[in-house]
């Protein structure tokens, strides 16, 4: 093998390695993707059984029910539709009725959203971007303007 042939083979092997690494990275990221939905968006969404999604909106007032252990049931609403959610675990300290929330999980066979993580707003003016954009588009929520 000449010097030029060795150089070309090393470059070709390097490019092949980078191509495989890039392909595997995109494949792994595609498997981890969670799509964001508001409750009203679920009526038109075509979800596969067990597909992981993010469900966002406001915690509907009067729907938080705590059962034995760490299981909590509540509804997430966008003031058009609401979705029943169950979560087993410790809720964020700032989780409460009427506040913005994003839950991540999938729908169970009974049609109830089973969340494995719950994210709540963290201060008086913050609303998760996806939730705020969805609620603004529906005319339900407006940003508070500080002077």
Q: Is residue 142 part of a domain?
A: no
Statement: residue 144 has pLDDT above 80: no
The domain that contains 115 carries what CATH number?
A: 2.40.50.140
Q: How many CB atoms lie within 10 A of CB 136?
A: 13
Which of 93, 144, 146 is CA-nearest to residue 121?
Answer: 93
Per the structure block, which two tokens stand in for 12? Answer: 């070709």
Tell me the mean pLDDT in the region 27-55: 78
Looking at the fold, whether 12 and 45 belong to one and the same domain comes out as: no
Looking at the fold, whether 25 and 56 belong to one and the same domain comes out as: no
Looking at the fold, whether 21 and 59 belong to one and the same domain comes out as: no
Looking at the fold, whether 67 and 125 belong to one and the same domain comes out as: yes
- Per-residue b or e along 29-53, where b marks 16 or more CB atoms closer than 10 Å to that residue's CB: eeeeeeebbbbbbeeeeeeeeeeeb
**pLDDT confidence tier of residue 147, bands split at 50, 70 and 90:** very low
Q: Is residue 4 part of a domain?
A: yes
49 sits in which H/E element: none
Q: Is the pTM of the predicted complex or chain greater than 0.85?
A: no
Inter-residue contact 60 to 102 (CB < 8 Å): no
Helices and strands counted in the chain (H then E)? 2, 7
Q: Is residue 1 part of a domain?
A: yes
Q: Determine the structural domain holding residue 27 and report its residue range.
A: 1-33
How much is the pLDDT for 27? 81
Q: What is the pLDDT of residues 79-116, one digit of tens each?
A: 888 899 999 988 888 888 888 888 999 988 888 999 99
Tell me the mean pLDDT in the region 130-147: 64
Residue that wins the pLDDT comparison between 60 and 144: 60
Angstrom distance (rounded) from CA 25 to CA 8: 26
User: Tokens 């968006």 map to which residue?
Assistant: 41
Inter-residue contact 100 to 118 (CB < 8 Å): no
């Amino acid at each position: 093998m000449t010097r030029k042939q060795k150089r070309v083979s090393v470059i070709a092997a390097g490019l092949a390695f980078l191509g495989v690494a890039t392909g595997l990275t995109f494949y792994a990221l595609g498997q981890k993707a969670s799509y964001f939905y508001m409750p009203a968006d679920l009526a038109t969404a075509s979800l596969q059984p067990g597909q992981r999604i993010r469900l966002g909106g406001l915690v509907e007032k009067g729907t938080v029910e705590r059962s034995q252990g760490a299981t909590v049931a509540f509804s997430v609403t966008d003031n058009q539709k609401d979705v029943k959610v169950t979560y087993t675990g410790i809720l964020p300290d700032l989780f409460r009725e009427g506040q913005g929330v994003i839950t991540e999980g999938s729908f169970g066979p009974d049609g109830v959203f089973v969340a494995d993580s719950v994210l709540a707003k963290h201060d008086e003016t913050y609303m998760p971007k996806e939730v705020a954009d969805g609620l603004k588009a529906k005319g339900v929520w407006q940003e508070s303007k500080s002077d």
